[in-house]
Structure 1
Amino acid sequence: MKLLYSFCAVLFLLITLNRAHTPGTVTVDTFTFEKIINNFDVVLAKFDDKYPYGDNQDQFKKFAESVANTKTLILAEIPITDYGDKENEQLAKEYSVTKADFPAYKLFLKGKSKPIDYTGDKTEDDLKHFLSKNTDLWFGLPGTLEILDRISREFFDASSSNDETSQKSLLEKAREHVKGLVNKKEQKSGESYLKIMESVVKQGVDFLKREGRRVQNLLKGKINNEKREELQHRANILLSFKSLKETVTETLDEIKDKVVEAAKQVKETVTGNTDL
C-alpha cells in the first residue's frame, strides 16, 4: 500500500510539474523579465497560476503550438504564487494583475513604454486576432493568405492617404496573385480580398468599418455552420486591412474614452452631478 501511495505521489508531482511549462513558451521571473521584453520585438506575456489548468489553459496550449514558428514573437509565461516565496508577486503588482484576472495577457512591443492589455475572450483564435490587430506578425488566421495580407496592409495605407496610383497598382498586384491560385478554398479567399479592395476604391476606407460591423452582427445571429465559417473568414480577411498607425489611433481613442468616463465617475461621487 505504501508503494502505491508513493507511486501516486510521484505521478501527481510529474503531472503538476508538466503543467508548469507550456511547450512553445519561455517561463520568466523578476530577474529575466526585463531582458526578454527589451530584446525581442514582440512579447506576449501571460500572468497566471503556477500550475494552470482548465479550458483557458487548453486554449493557450493550442495557441502556443500554432504560433511556435512565428518569427520575432515570444510567448512569456509568468507564474504567480501567493504562498511561500510569493513568486513574481512584484511583477503582478507592477502591472496591476490580480488573481481574479488569471490568465491575464499583456502585449509588449519593443520601443513602447507600456504594454497593451488584452481584454477579449481567452481563446486561440481571439488571441491571434489580438496579435494581428496590434502587430505586423502573420499567423494565418482561417481564410487568410499571407501574400494578400501583406498587399492589403499596403493597400490600406495607400487608400488612407488617397494615393490612387499606389492603390490601383496594389489592386492589380492582388488580382494577378489571385489568378495564380489553384486551390479552390484559396481562390474563394482571394476573391474576398479583391471584392473588399474594389469596395474601398469605390466607397473609401470607411467601408471597412461598416463592413466589419455588418459581418460581426451577422455572426451574432442564427446561421448555419457553413455560413458562419464563411463570415468568420471574411472577418479575418478584414483584419488585414489595417495598419499599426490606425491601431495606435484606436488605442489612444479608447484611452481617451476611459479617462472621460473615469472623470465623470469622480465628479458624480464628489458632487452628485452627472454633467461634466
Structure 2
Amino acid sequence: MYTYLFILCVIFTTPSAHTASAASGSVELDEISFNKIIKKFDAALVKFDVAFPYGDKHEAFVALAKDSKDVDELLIAEVGVKDYGEKDNEALAKKYGASKDNFPVVKLFVKGKSEPIPFDDSQGFNSDELRRFVRVNTGIYLSLPGCVRELDSLATKFMKAKDDERKSVLKDTVAAAEKLGSKDASSGKIYKTIMEKIIEKGDEFVKTEYERVKKLLNGKVSDEKKKLLLIRINILQSFQLFDKQVKPTKQEL
C-alpha cells in the first residue's frame, strides 16, 4: 500500500510539460512507470497521443478524468509520444497499435484480461462515449447526464428480473424516485415510464423507443429540447446493457 502511494506521489509531484493534465486527474505514464501503475487498478483507461495534446478529443478525455476523480478503482492516464529526439514512449505506443498516424488511441486495461480493449470512436469521441465504454466493459459505475445511480441499479435489476417480478422493482423505483430532489425529479419519472412501457409492450420497447428518440435528435430541435432528448437516451441506455442489438448513439451538446 505504501509503495502504491509513493508511486502516485512521485507521478503527481514530478514537474512536466503536462502538469495541467495531471492536476485534472489524468496521470502521465511512460515506458518505465506504465506497467507499475496500470496493474494497481481494477481498470485503466489510457490515451496514447502526441506529447503536447490539444483539441476536442483531448478535452473530452480530460473532462472524464475530472468527473471520475473519486472512482478509486479506475485510473485515467495518458502516454505522451514524441517523434523527435529520443522519441520518448514511441515503442510503448507501437506495442499497443498507436502511432502518429492514428493518434489519439484509447485503450482500456482491465485486471485479469491479457489484452486491452480498444475504444471505438465511430460513435463519437466525447466524454459520454468514453464513460459508457468504461461502464459497459468493466461494470464500474460512471454516471451519464440525467442518470441517477440508484435508479440505474434498479433498471439493471428490472431487466434481469422475471416478468412476474418486474412490478415489484417498478414499485421500488417509484419509491426511490419520490425521494429525489428537484434536480433529478424529471429523470425519476422517465425511469418509471420506461419500466411501465416495458411491462406493457415487452423488452422490444427499449429498442423502438431508442430509435424514436434518436430520430427526433436527428431532426430540427431546439437546444433545450435536444438536451432533454439526450437525457432520455442516456436513461434508455441504462436498460440497454442487456439489449445487444442497440448501439450507443453519438451525443454532442
Same fold (TM over 0.5): yes
Amino acid at match of 1:132: R
Specify whether residues 21 and 154 from structure 1 end up closer, same or farther in structure 2 by C-alpha distance, changes over 3 A only: same
| Aligned-partner Cα distance in 2 for 1:164–1:59 | 40
Superposed CA deviations along residues 74-99 of structure 1, whole A, max 9, x for unmatched, are 00111112222222222222211121
Specify whether residues 23 and 186 from structure 1 end up closer, same or farther in structure 2 by C-alpha distance, changes over 3 A only: closer
Partner of 2:158: 155
Secondary structure of 1:168's aligned partner: helix
Query: Kindly, what percent of the aligned residue pairs are identical?
Result: 37
Shift, 1:208, TM fit: 1.6
Greater gyration radius: 1
Specify whether residues 15 and 115 from structure 1 end up closer, same or farther in structure 2 by C-alpha distance, changes over 3 A only: closer
Secondary structure of 2:32's aligned partner: coil
| Aligned-partner Cα distance in 1 for 2:18–2:76 | 19
1:100 correspondence with 2:83:
no
Indicate if the aligned counterparts of 2:39 and 2:111 stay in contact, CA closer than 8 A: yes
| Aligned-partner Cα distance in 2 for 1:26–1:193 | 36
| Aligned-partner Cα distance in 2 for 1:180–1:166 | 22
Q: How does 1:33-112 map to 2 (within 5 A)?
A: 33-112=34-113
| Aligned-partner Cα distance in 1 for 2:93–2:204 | 39
Partner of 1:261: none
| Aligned-partner Cα distance in 1 for 2:95–2:64 | 26
| Aligned-partner Cα distance in 2 for 1:107–1:26 | 14
Partner of 1:174: 173
User: So what's the TM-score if we normalise by structure 1?
Assistant: 0.75
Superposed CA deviations along residues 202-245 of structure 1, whole A, max 9, x for unmatched, are 222222222222222221111011211111000111121144x7
Shift, 1:195, TM fit: 1.0
Indicate if the aligned counterparts of 1:133 and 1:242 stay in contact, CA closer than 8 A: no
| Aligned-partner Cα distance in 1 for 2:174–2:218 | 32
Q: Which runs of 5+ in 1 are unaligned?
A: 1-13, 252-276
Secondary structure of 1:76's aligned partner: strand
Q: Which runs of 5+ in 2 are unaligned?
A: 1-14, 248-253
Q: How does 1:134-145 map to 2 (within 5 A)?
A: 134-145=137-148
| Aligned-partner Cα distance in 2 for 1:207–1:195 | 11
Partner of 2:231: 233
Amino acid at match of 2:139: D
Partner of 1:131: 134
Specify whether residues 179 and 23 from structure 1 end up closer, same or farther in structure 2 by C-alpha distance, changes over 3 A only: closer
| Aligned-partner Cα distance in 2 for 1:28–1:207 | 44
Superposed CA deviations along residues 129-188 of structure 1, whole A, max 9, x for unmatched, are 322333322333211111001111121222xxxx124322211110111122341x4121
Higher alpha-carbon deviation: 210-219 or 141-150: 210-219
User: So what's the TM-score if we normalise by structure 2?
Assistant: 0.81
Partner of 1:114: 115
Cα RMSD for the two superposed structures:
2.5
Secondary structure of 1:85's aligned partner: coil
Aligned length: 231
| Aligned-partner Cα distance in 1 for 2:16–2:42 | 33
Shift, 1:21, TM fit: 4.1
Secondary structure of 1:170's aligned partner: helix
Partner of 1:23: 24
Task: State which of 187, 198, 201 in structure 1 corresponds to 2:199.
Answer: 201
Higher alpha-carbon deviation: 224-233 or 195-204: 195-204
| Aligned-partner Cα distance in 2 for 1:147–1:71 | 19
